[in-house]
Structure 1
Amino acid sequence: MKYLVIGGLAVVLYGIQRMTSDVDVSVHLTTDNLKRLAEALKQLGFVPRVPAPITGLADPKTRRLWTQRKGMKVYSFIEPYGIPPRNVDVMVTPLENFEAFYQKRTMASLRGVPVPLIPVNELARMKRKAGRPQDLQDVQDLRLLGKIP
């Protein structure tokens, strides 16, 4: 399965101590890859939040419909019986340079499971672009930890 962890969990796995309530991922948007993701999440107890199959993300026309008409930014899976419920948010709009970032990914480990992270410099760029207070704090913390210049 081809994906990159890109949000707060990536920051945590790069060594910053902070809370995050979800897992943000960017996924290689092919039908087969999306099916593998859905099956893996199903086995972990996650269900889609919306009644549309995630494989729709593989079709640019469907993605455009979901983003423009429905205002969808992420396709969410939820673990409904978790306390609190946990989310996995799949970015609807693919990363422009997903393949290049995937080739340069950093591998981390979470409870013994390998986790591919977006390269730290790109994570910082995305966080600066988002500009929210927590994102800017993440960038500052990554800099203080020596992860970025």
Structure 2
Amino acid sequence: MESNLPVPVLSQDFQDFIRLLSEKSVEYLLIGGYAVNLHGNIRTTKDIDFWFNPKPQNCERLEQVLFEFSGISVPEGSLSQPNSMLQLGLPPNRINLLNEPDPDLPFSPCYERRLDVLLEGLTVPVVSKADLILLKRHAGRPRDLLDIQQLGEI
């Protein structure tokens, strides 16, 4: 489903990373603060968060992206391990990659409910508002609880 949500500015590094994800056909969803912004609650964020499909073939494609983007080689199979998380860079250009932000929320149904948003000329799959609220509830940090409250008012 395509969307006309508000569009935050992406750094060149974020654009390059998203372009590689697309070129390598990596299945992922934009989550976290950028997704909150796209769903209408504009706030600052110091990173960009991606939830990737943990299936082995998708993880292999993501490994290629990581190598092309930063020269990082991750151990084979490590990205598909439960609760895998990888961080690249430093705020405000940090990239967070998660394969299981909420063990009770499987990737595939969320991917089917995604919104495809055009950002800086790139089509970016964004987690649905309802699924974002579930992810935020699971994380449970004060910032997440405030996001839930504000998203519920939009």
Q: TM-score, normalised by structure 2?
A: 0.68
2:96 matches 1:89: yes
Alignment partners' CA distance in 2, 1:12 and 1:32: 30
2:117 matches 1:108: yes
Contact 2:79-2:85 within 8 A present in 1 as well:
no
Please give the secondary structure, in 1, of the residue aligned with 2:51.
strand
Gaps of 5+ in 1: 68-72
Match of 1:74 among 82, 85, 93: 85
Contact 1:28-1:98 within 8 A present in 2 as well:
yes
Q: Deviations over 1:23-58 (max 9, x none)?
A: 212111233322333433555x4454xx63364223
Larger Rg: 1
- Amino acid in the other structure paired with 1:98: F
2:53 matches 1:28: yes
Query: Which stretch has the larger CA shift, 90-99 or 112-121?
Result: 90-99
Please give the secondary structure, in 1, of the residue aligned with 2:117.
strand
2:40 matches 1:15: yes
Count of residue pairs brought into register by the alignment: 127
Gaps of 5+ in 2: 1-25
Aligned to 1:141: 150
Contact 1:54-1:75 within 8 A present in 2 as well:
no
Alignment partners' CA distance in 1, 2:145 and 2:119: 24
Contact 2:29-2:50 within 8 A present in 1 as well:
yes
Alpha-carbon shift at residue 10 of structure 1 (Å): 0.8
Please give the secondary structure, in 1, of the residue aligned with 2:45.
coil
- Amino acid in the other structure paired with 1:75: L
RMSD (Å) for aligned C-alpha atoms: 2.6
Alignment partners' CA distance in 2, 1:107 and 1:7: 16
Contact 2:136-2:145 within 8 A present in 1 as well:
yes
Aligned to 2:75: 53
C-alpha spacing 1:129/1:111, structure 2 compared with 1 (3 Å): same
C-alpha spacing 1:144/1:85, structure 2 compared with 1 (3 Å): closer
